[in-house]
Amino acid sequence: MSEQIVFEPLQEAQTSVQRLPYAALLAFAMTGFIAIMTETLPAGLLPQIGNGLGVSEVFAGQLVTLYAIGSLLAAIPLTVATRGWRRRRVLLMAVGGFLLFNSITTLSTHYGLTLFSRFMAGVAAGLAWGLLAGYARRLVPTHLQGRALAIAMVGTPIALSLGTPAGTWLGNVMGWRASFGIMSAMALLLFGWILWAVPDMPGQADGKRLPLGQVFRLPGVRPVLFVVVIWMLGHNILYTYITPFLVPSGLAGHVDLVLLVFGVAALIGIWITGLMVDRWLRPLVLVSLGLLAISAWVLAMAASSPTVIYLCVAAWGLSFGGAATLLQTAAADCAGDHVDVVQAMLTTAWNLAIAGGGLIGGVLLDRAGAESFPWALLLLAVIGLITAVLARHHGFKPGRRAHA
């Protein structure tokens, strides 16, 4: 018989309301959408950006790097520094950062200024990612927290699967500056949306704040963060270098279609996760990692078959779609009143895995070839699965949330 998971109310956040506050949660989703879009837009527009700023594509690619560094460096310190501030104020600061620094990127003709604006946009993203999950959970009763988080995070897979290709297409049609200008306009609209639809919440009281080291040592936090790194590291090794991997199957010229299959499957995955996460978080984590491992093994054995690749990419996307919700929910469950700090740690771990995926994938491509990618993904998926299986008591608990 599975144990029941019961959570204590968090300050004024838990209410008797049984309906989800969709307007507020979708504002959070839009924040995540803008953050991901702002990060990934340059990747599809490097030649245009390089021509516009008078630099090479390699230097233009550093616009992505600086954003990631800003997010990586800012997430934990800014979250710790602002955890006593009222929540809507912090959210408005983050969205205001997107508005200001995307506007500078849109108008700047100086490479150094553009790099600075990209770094600061990453800082705004780090602040946002440390805030969104805890804020979303505090707006609803305990038994709706997983579903609320799934809605609040839906902007991330949408941006990854559909938004970035659309932004790249728009940049090719209207110019790369137009894409960043649209991000600024969206941030301006979101600023007003937050003022209208998002209830304010107090920050964490002084007496309830733990030092960073003690938060890291809370039961379950470290296993969850380890699974984040392992899972996202494997994902990004293959996702970052998907084009060379598709060469043997003849699909290298159809990367857009392959990624569309991945994206649609990911959206289905997040929909399923949103429906089930409050009852079946642990089984969903185990099934997702198991499906990822099976997909990687099949890809390793039949990398030259287009049909197999499409099927495996769909399974991979399905397993990945709910990952953000599952991992953020598990981390928040372990965090208790310290959810914002733990979410900032998760953001840092996630970004380290993205950077590590690019680095390790490049080394593997150079030394072992693209055919080594699914084997690396298989190994990491199995390690993540074993960790999740062992983290039964602290980390990925069985049971379902009960009414607070």
Beta-carbon contacts of residue 386 (< 8 Å; ≥ 6 apart): none
How far is 131 from 341, CA to CA, in rounded Å? Answer: 8
Residues 159 and 221 in one domain: no
Q: Which of 158, 186, 209 is the last residue of a domain?
A: 209
Question: What pLDDT, on a 0 to 100 scale, did the predictor assign at position 17?
Answer: 47
Domain interval for residue 150: 20-209
Tell whether 253 and 355 lie within a shared domain: yes
In the chain (404 residues long), the average pLDDT of successive 10-residue segments reads 38 52 94 90 79 84 83 86 89 97 95 95 91 86 81 81 70 86 96 95 69 76 91 87 84 80 87 85 93 95 90 94 86 77 83 81 86 94 94 77 46
Minimal CA–CA distance to 360: which of 298, 292, 368, 223?
368
**pTM of this prediction?**
0.77
Task: State how far the Cα of 253 lies from the Cα of 28, in Å rounded to an integer.
Answer: 35
The whole-chain average pLDDT of the chain stands at: 84
In a domain, 1, yes or no: no
Within-domain flag for 11: no
Q: What is the CATH number of the domain that holds 35?
A: 1.20.1250.20
- 229-239 exposure pattern, b = at least 16 Cβ within 10 A, e = fewer: bbbbbbbbbbb
Residues 132 and 262 in one domain: no
- Read off the pLDDT of residues 260-284 as tens digits, 9 standing for 90 and up: 888 889 889 988 988 888 888 899 9
Task: Single out the residue of 305, 324, 298 nearest to residue 159, CA to CA.
Answer: 324
For residues 316 and 340, membership in a common domain is answered with: yes
Instruction: Note whether residue 7 is domain-resident.
Output: no
Residue 149 CA to its chain's centroid (Å):
12
- Are residues 222 and 171 both part of a single domain? no
Residue pLDDT, tens place only, 310-353: 999 999 999 998 898 899 888 888 877 777 788 888 888 887 88
Q: Which two tokens stand for residue 246?
A: 């598709």
Tell which phi-psi region holds residue 249, choosing left (phi > 0), alpha (psi between -120 and 50) or beta.
alpha
Instruction: Say how far apart CA 56 and CA 60 lie, in whole Å.
Output: 6
Same domain assignment for residues 214 and 188? no
| Total Cβ atoms within 10 A of residue 54 | 10
**Residue finishing a domain among 191, 209, 227:** 209
Residues 67 and 117 in one domain: yes
Number of domains in the chain: 2
Q: In 3-state terms, what secondary structure has residue 12?
A: coil
Based on the domain organization, do 155 and 62 belong to the same domain? yes
Q: Are 326 and 273 in contact (CB under 8 A)?
A: yes
